[in-house]
Chains A and B, each alone.
Chain A
Amino acid sequence: MIYYDKVSKVYADNSVALDQVSFGVEPKEFVTIVGHSGAGKTTLMKLLIAEDYPTGGSVFLESTNVHNLNKKEMSKLRRRIGTVFQDYRLIPNKTIYENIAFAMEAAGRTDAEIAADVPHVLELVDLSKKIWNFPRELSGGERQRVAIARAIVTQPDIIIADEPTGNLDPTNTYEIVRILKKINEMGTTVLLTTHNRGVVDAVGGRVITMENGRIIRDDKNGKYIL
């Protein structure tokens, strides 16, 4: 479903973020990518949603090279991928309802669908009572759950979560992992990056370990070896 083909990324200051990285992800798989800061995890995620461009190699979603798309096709591709960021990236002057509804509006959903699905997805992340609050009125854990709700509300094929627990305490970390596993069980492919051993142990499944822009291990059964 997703295939990174000899992908390299060298930034303007000549720092190498990725060096000839190749791996594939099957539909409905839950892949955890681990590594220290600067290992290249976030760059991998950014390349998949074309937030950044590789300096070598290609990234494919099914048979499509995601960096060869025009603006319209790019928007369509991004609607197939729900993204959860470490810093939540919620829109500050929109309520929780509006933040989630925005993703559905962007995907061309009707007002009736939005009115039905937003409360439902907020129930899933246990935030029904905060529906009319603004992001600034929520805790870090709650904001991350809103970000997950926004990522899944359009029922995308893939969820990518870049260090979603990086700013959270252990209780909230466990909660986020539980939600992501549940989403995966419902049939969504999940790519998760983390450097938290507890998260890897809780998730299980396939673990890709990165170091200095290269894959050093790819285990079917999750182990955190660093």
Chain B
Amino acid sequence: MILTTFKRIARGGFVNFWRNGFLSFAAVVVITLSLSAFGGLIFASAFGNSLLADVKDKVDINVYFTLSAQESDILALQKEIKALPEVSSVDYVSSAQALTDFQTKWQNNALIMQGLQEVGNNPFPAALNIKAKEPGQYGNIANFLTSKNPQDSNGTPIIDKVNYQENKLIIDRLTAIIPTVEQVGGFIALIFVLVAIIIVWNTIRLIIYTARDEIAVMKLVGASNIYVRGPFVVSGIMYGIVSALITLILMAVFAYWSDAVVLKLAGVDVASNFSLIVNVLSAYFVHNFGEIFVLIIGSGIALGGVSSYVAARKYLKV
């Protein structure tokens, strides 16, 4: 009997969805818009996080060594720095490597290349590029380097310069801005979600309001609450599923379209220098499709189903 009841409720929901064509269309449009706003937030969050990660990644401090510093001393210092809990990575760039990088970069500029030749010896010092796990941790690393003050066997300091002070301003600003950006983003997301829920809830409530006489009749012929409310909940879930599928298609289209637009606006050469920004949405969509699918479909079902369940309750008191 339970199976029969479930089958009848499901059939009633499908029939309602199909026969109330205009109302179903209106509900699907509203839920699709709300879920699209939700999808937009997912994309905005992904893009924002990628952008922040990119900016964080571009911040580092460089330790330049004296030209007389021995590679073994530098590598020993690199090992010590790597062991610090704040440090994400330490890359050693030797003096020869620095020269090669410079030559590669400016190989087409005859004036610069001529100037380099006139200098004669390799003027580039060896360096360590240090990246912290969080921007706020660079101060601690700089303090470590100052207090450590490594020296060679003759007692001469091997560090020529640490560019922390030059980068300090941007590091401090990032440290202050990033949490604020994340908090404001979260707050805006919350507002969007609330607005979406309220709009969907009101739409569903309006649809069920138009069926209030029908609900009363069902009750008066002796139908139980579950039997009256069930088909409305099934219809609500169907609105949610159909809307979610449309939203996923729109998100896929937007992800690939936006990538093409960024490439077109930035130009392929420029875009290739910002590989983290270009393709971020399509890549994010593909890599996280499972989670996005569950999130959007789940939100659609919850929005449609729960709204219908709650909205119908008011008219069951017959």
Using CB atoms and an 8 Å cutoff, list the residues of chain A in contact with chain B.
Answer: 49, 51, 71-72, 75-79, 83, 89-94, 98, 102-103, 105-108, 110-111, 150, 154
Contacts and interface: CB of A to CB of B under 8 A. Distances in A.
B122 interface: no
A107 B227 CA distance: 10
Contacts of A92: 214
Contacts of A71: 224-225
Chain B CB within 10 Å, residue with most, of A91, A110, A154: A91
B4 to A, nearest CB: 7
Given A93-B16, A106-B224, A106-B227, 6 more contacts: A78-B219, A89-B217, A93-B19, A98-B15, A103-B221, A105-B223
B111 interface: no
Given A91-B214, A102-B218, A75 B4 contact: no
Contact of B223 (A51, A77, A90, A106): A106
A96 to B, nearest CB: 14
Contacts of B1: 108
A146 B4 CA distance: 25
A105 B221 CA distance: 10
A162 B289 CA distance: 58
A111 to B, nearest CB: 7
B20 interface: yes
B19 A107 contact: no
Given A105-B227, A106-B227, A75 B222 contact: yes
B8 interface: yes
Determine chain B's interface SS by DSSP, over half rule: helix
B4 A110 contact: yes
Interface of B: 1, 4, 8, 15-16, 19-20, 213-214, 216-225, 227, 318
Contacts, number: 57
Q: A-B pairs with the 9 shortest C-beta distances? A: A79-B222, A106-B223, A78-B222, A93-B19, A103-B221, A89-B217, A75-B224, A106-B222, A75-B222
B220 A51 contact: yes
B218 A106 contact: yes
Contacts of A105: 8, 223, 227
Which among B213, B219, B222 has the highest number of chain A CB atoms within 10 Å? Answer: B222
A49 B1 CA distance: 26
Contacts of A106: 218, 221-224, 227
B156 to A, nearest CB: 91
13 contacts: A49-B220, A71-B224, A76-B222, A78-B221, A78-B222, A79-B221, A91-B217, A91-B218, A93-B16, A94-B15, A102-B218, A103-B221, A103-B222
A106 B214 CA distance: 14
Given A51-B318, A93-B20, A102 B222 contact: no
Nearest to B215: A91
B223 A75 contact: yes
A102 B223 contact: yes
A154 B1 CA distance: 18
B318 A83 contact: no
A188 to B, nearest CB: 16
A64 B111 CA distance: 107
A60 B8 CA distance: 33
B221 A83 contact: yes
